[in-house]
Structures are given as C-alpha cells and as structure tokens.
Structure 1
Amino acid sequence: MTTTANNPRVGRSGSFDFAKWWDRVGILAVLVLLIIFMLFAAPNFGTVDNILNIARSISINAIIAAGMTFVILSAGIDLSVGSTVAVSGVSAVLAAVAGAPAVVAILVGVIAGAIAGLVNGVLVAYLSLAPFIVTLGLMTFLRGLAYTMTEGQPIVDSSLNFRDLGNGYIAGIPAPVIVMVVIYAVCWFVLERTKYGRHVYAVGGNPEAARLAGIRVKRVLTSVYVIGGALAGLAGVIFAARVVSAQPTAGNGYELDAIAAVVLGGTSLFGGKGRIVGTLIGSVILGVLTTGLILMNVQFFTQLLVKGIVIILAVAIDSLKQRSSKKAPAVDTSGAATVGVSA
C-alpha cells in the first residue's frame, strides 16, 4: 500500500503536490516532449552538427543563469547581467588589443563583471535598497558605459588572442560547452556540499532566522551578486570571443532568458528553494526552443512572442508551486515536522 509519506506527489492532506512533481518529473517531461516535437518539426534538428550548435548556443545563457540561480536563491534579482555581458566583453577585448595575454584579458572581463556584482550586492545588502530598482539602474548605467568605452561602435579584432574560448574545440566538443559543464559542476558542489551553499538557502528562505542562527546575511547577499556578476562577465568574454569583437549591444535581453531558465528549472522567485541542475535543464529547454524555431524558419518577431509566453509560464509555474507547497506540505516518514534548509 502506498502511503502519503512514501509518495512524493502528495502532502499531508493527500492532495497532489505540484511543486514536487514539477521539480522531479515535470521539467524533464517538458524537455523530452519538446525534443521529440522538434525532431519531427524542425529540419536537421537531430544532426550531430546541430546538437553541437545547440550546446554552444546554450552555454552563454546557461552560465549567466548559473550565477542568477545564486541571486534568486537569496530572494534577489539581477536585471543588470545583460549589460554586464557587454561591459565585460568590451573590457576583455580592449585589454587584448592593448597587448595583454589571453589569460589576463579573460580575467579582466571576469573581474569587470564581479565589480558590477559587488556594486549591486553592497547597495542591496548594506543600504537595504530594492534589488529590482538597484539592478535596473545599473543595467542602464552599464549599457551606457559599454557604449562609452567603444564610442558606440564595435571593436573588431580578427586576431583576438582568446578567440578559441568561443570558437575552439576540446576533444571535438565546443570549448564554451566544456566551460559551462565545469561551471555547473562547481556551482552544484558549492550549493549542495558546502556550508556556504546552506547559508545561501537559509538567507533566501528566512533572512531573520538566518541572522539569529549566526549567518552573516549581508556578506552572503553581497557574495551572491558578486558570483552572478562574475559569471555574467565570463559569459561576456565567451560572447566576445565567439564574435571576435567587442559589441556594446551584446547581452541585450539576456537577463530575461537567464531568469526564465532559473525559474523553469524549479528555483523559486521567493528564494530559499531550487536546484542548479534544474537551471541547466531550463537553459536547455530555452536553447532547444530557440534553435528549433530558427530551423522551422519562424520569423524573429514570432520567436519573441514565444519567448514572452515562456517567461510568463515560468512565473505562473513558480506561483503554482508556491500555492501547492502551502496546501500540501511535505512530511517525513515518521510524520514529524522536518526543519532545515532544503535544496
């Protein structure tokens, strides 16, 4: 006989638990169904070359989304990551053009992103400003900065010394994909296996309780924005390497794709709940959808309509999960309440 305690789909009242179902089954089901549809509807979708192209195209947004996961887990939001992509790419290319070695140029771009994240973090954590307003303001500032640094024109360098970061291959796999996998492995370890990861979940779930438990909430909040900014900076460097130039328009709208990937992957906009693996799956869904629409010759403005619908659905799913969790709280097999930080 199946009991409530042994069935992850139901809560104490015996009702269907949409939150757990979505996190464990729903998101994967959506991905599988989408892939099956595209295999029949989109020409050449299942070819090896196209799969590698999808993986490469996913990598930039997935890296940004990995950083965004830390921010959203803390119950924050970062609307400036798209502009951070532009500034970081420009900074890296300018450093390379000035004669800096490839590794130094890459670090310059990542550090530029981390500094942008630090500004966000300090304003949010130490001045208690609203994350939405702070990051919206920095989004505009950084976009203006990118245009100022390039004088409004792309800076093209066909011999860019770190171009292989965006165009190279390692054992037949695109270099950005390798970087993405490494980033997600590190992020998974940090969130699932370290004290810092538990602190991030705790701060997002209940900052006052976290403070009373001895967690330095302001430091944690600042750090998640730094992580988000640094990873957006890395994505910006990869983008610049991919197009072999510094583009002040780079990353336009990327913040929405990153947020959509995070929420689709099961991370709550209210903070404290989510999985980095889910974010990767959400990024893959968006990448498969975008590539499939292109192969189907769907017009660009129609693609924007579809993306808008996906973002709205992501928020709706998060809202449904919150309601489901409240109506059907999970219990352990002994029937006793469980207290702690859950991923």
Structure 2
Amino acid sequence: MASGSPVQRAYSRIAGGYGRSRNKQIIQFLLDNGLFIAFVLELILFAVAAPDLFIRSRTLEAILRLSGPAGIVLASYTITLISGQIDLSTAQVGGMASLMFAAVFQLLEWPLGVALALTVVLTIAVGLLSSYLIKQGIPSFVSTLAVGVVCGGIGFLIINLTKQPGMIRLVRPPLRDIANFEVLGVPFVIPLMFVAYAIGWVVLNQTRFGAHIYAMGGNPAAAALNGINAIRIARIVLVTNAVITGMAGILIAGRQLAAQPGVEGLGQSLTAALFAGVALSGGSGKIERTLIGLLFLSTLTIGLGILNVAAPVRQLIFGSAFVFAILLDSIRQQLASR
C-alpha cells in the first residue's frame, strides 16, 4: 500500500531536503564563526572566574606578549599550510636557530649582525632541505618531521660542544635591548605581529602568488596543468617559514635571556591553524582567523595560569584542544565533499 499520494511524497522529499540543507547551513555557520564565539565565551568565563586578576591591562599585555613571536610564526605557518605543506619542524628549528645565534653572539662574542646573518643562512638551508625531500616525493609532514629531528640533534650538539648546562644564557646588552624594545610603551613584537598578518593577508588575497598558493593546496594536479610550479612554491613557503621561525626563536630567547633546544610556544602553530579553519590538506583558510585562534590559545594559557591549574591538567586541556581541532578539520572536509 502506498504511504501517501504522490504530492505528499514529493512534499516529504522537499521538506527532508530542506531540513538537511538547513542543518548543513547551521553547522557551516558554527564552523565559520564558532572560534570567535568560543573566544568571547572564554573571555567571559575567565572574567567571571577571576575578575580581580583577569580584567586588568597587565593581563591583556601578557596575552599579547605571549602571542607575539609565536603569532609571527603562525602567520607564515598559515600560508605554508594553505599551500598544502605541513611543517612539523617549527619548535626544533626555532630552538636550533636560537642556540646557533647564542653560541656565535654570546660565547664567541661576534657582532650581532654577523650572528643574525649566519642564523639566517642556517635556516635557509633547513627550508631548502625540507623542499628537496618533498621534491623527491616524500610527503611534507614526513620530510619536515625528519628535518625537525635533525635540527633538534644539532641543537643538542651545540649544547654539548659549548659545554653549557642545557642552555646558553644571553646577557649581552644589544639583544636584550632589542627584545625588550617598546614603541609608545608597547613591546615592539606586538605591532610587528599585526604587521606580519597584514602582509600575509595582502600576499594571500591581493597577489598572483597568493592565488597560486591556494590553487596548489586545493588541487596540485590541476595547478600543475595550469603551469603552476608546485616545487617552487613549496620551496619559497618552507624557506620563508624556516627563516621566520628562526628569527622568532631568537626573539623568544632574547626575552627569556636564554637559548635552549625546542622553543616553547612555536609547536602550537598547527593547533591554532586548524582551530582557525585552515584545512590540513591545504587549499582553504583565512589568515585573519588564525590570529583569533592564536589569541584563543594564548588567553587559555594565561587564564589557566591565573587560576593556578596544575601543569598536567593544562597539558590535558591543550592535548584535547588539538584533538578537537583535528575533528573540526575532518568535519569541514566532509561538508566540503558533499
């Protein structure tokens, strides 16, 4: 027996399709704007939990200070990820660069410019090595993971050769003065971070190179058919990311007055980018959203510190955040494929 008239069945199909479309629109809205909503809720939560400590200008400054060097790296990392390259070497490259700089500048007492130049050359070599491995057909996450292990080893080798106790202290005035330099009372690294995002936005949205980055990340085969040199783009973004990561590592070392293997804060770039909607497979994402993702994680770090949350619990929270970011990326990919 028929379940209803043809008109009723047609209406049911239309209503069902509308319902599915409506649900998809809601999910897409949450994916597009959920990070901003979560950031606002996070601010409200910490403000309610610790109003006397969180609602202070010093807390805002602490959040921005924490975001500064890592945020500059994240701007570059976002472009790298959009191009389809997953760089897992950032923390190790930053640590190696800061140690190389510290050994030349602090221990050998060479001029600041020479130490910076040598470090830039080293990070360029790192980016070229990663791009060479990718050219040989090795996936980027494997290539950069291997390069990261090498960089970590070089960092520990520098420590052993200089016979330092796990780190190299930086006490020479020029670097300390630069790391703590302020513009109108604001640490210079904060406006520098916003400048980095402005440049990244222009590159991605207003240049032909940016269009090629999106094309290569979205569909490498189609990009190649249209004459886009994928290896050249990979080389440029990986070298740029390595150099910027190295400079950020030096800034962090200068602020902490010590260089050591692995730079805290640089390893969260992938988490922040995924939170912000940058596809793990490349080809999509907006650099302005990664800034919100960075501020979300920095606020979480400062807020948990204010609440005196135990270190193991903090690690659990950040680990859960990374898993959640991967799940969000999976949901985005599934919606895009429908």
Q: Secondary structure at the match of 1:215?
A: coil
Q: Following superposition of structure 1 onto structure 2, how do residues 176-255 of structure 1 map, counting pairs within 5 Å?
A: 176-248=189-261, 250-251=262-263, 254-255=266-267
Instruction: Report the Cα distance in structure 1 between the residues aligned to 2:264 and 2:230, rounded to whole angstroms.
Output: 31
Match of 1:121 in 2: 131
Shift in Å, 1:112: 2.8
Contact 2:32/2:277 (<8 A) preserved: no
The RMSD of aligned alpha carbons is 2.1
Indicate yes or no: 2:267 matched with 1:259: no
Question: Aligned partners of 2:186, 2:118: CA distance in 1, in Å?
Answer: 26
**Cα distance, 1:270 vs structure 2:** 1.3
Distance 1:114 1:46, change over 3 A: farther
Structure 2: 5+ residue stretches without partners: 1-17
The answer as to 2:61 corresponding to 1:55 is no
Contact 1:17 1:324 in 2 (8 A): no
Confirm or deny: 8 A CA contact 1:110 1:237 kept in the other structure. no
- TM-score, scaled relative to structure 2: 0.87
Distance in 1 of aligned mates of 2:173 and 2:149: 28
Alignment partner, residue 280 of structure 1? 291
Specify the code of the residue in structure 1 equivalent to 2:115.
Answer: A
Match for residue 36 of structure 1 among 44, 48, 54: 44
Match of 2:316 among 283, 305, 326: 305
Conserved? CA contact 1:93–1:246, under 8 Å: yes
Instruction: Give yes or no for the alignment of 1:173 onto 2:186.
Output: yes
Contact 2:70 2:265 in 1 (8 A): no
Deviations 1:299-342 (A, max 9, x none): 01110000001001111111111122233xxxxxxxxxxxxxxx
- Equivalent positions of 1:57-72 (< 5 A) are 57-72=66-81
Cα pair 1:96 1:105 within 8 Å, conserved: yes
How much has 1:16 moved relative to structure 2? 2.4
Structure 1 residues 109 and 52: alpha-carbon distance in aligned structure 2, compared to 1, 3 A threshold: farther
Asked whether the 8 Å contact 2:82–2:214 carries over to 1, the reply is yes
CA contact (8 A) 1:88 1:108 kept: no
Tell me the secondary structure at the aligned position of residue 78 of structure 1.
coil
Aligned-residue offset at 1:93: 2.0
> In structure 2, the residue corresponding to 1:77 is in which secondary structure?
coil
Identity %: 30
Q: Please state how far the C-alpha of 1:36 moved relative to its aligned partner.
A: 0.9
The number of residue pairs the alignment matches comes to: 315
Query: After the TM superposition, which parts of structure 1 deviate over 6 Å for at least 4 consecutive aligned residues?
Result: none
The change in CA–CA distance for 1:71 and 1:22 in structure 2 (over 3 A counts) is farther
Which among 81, 101, 113 is matched to residue 92 of structure 1? 101
Q: Secondary structure at the match of 2:281?
A: coil
Using the TM superposition, name which of 177-186 and 161-170 deviates more.
161-170
Residues 209-231 of structure 1, C-alpha deviations (whole Å, 9 max, x = no match): 10111111110112111122122
Classify 1:144/1:134 alpha carbon distance in 2 versus 1 (closer, same or farther; 3 Å): same
Which of 66, 78, 81 is residue 87 of structure 2 equivalent to?
78
Range with greater deviation from structure 2 (142-151 or 159-168): 159-168
Matched residue, 2:54: 45
Higher radius of gyration, 1 or 2: 2
Alpha-carbon contact 2:92-2:149 (below 8 Å) kept: yes
Does 195-204 or 86-95 show the bigger shift? 86-95
How far apart, CA to CA, are the structure 1 residues paired with 2:151 and 2:312? 26
**Paired AA for residue 194 in structure 1:** T
Sort the Cα spacing of 1:11 and 1:157 in 2 relative to 1 into closer, same or farther, 3 A.
farther
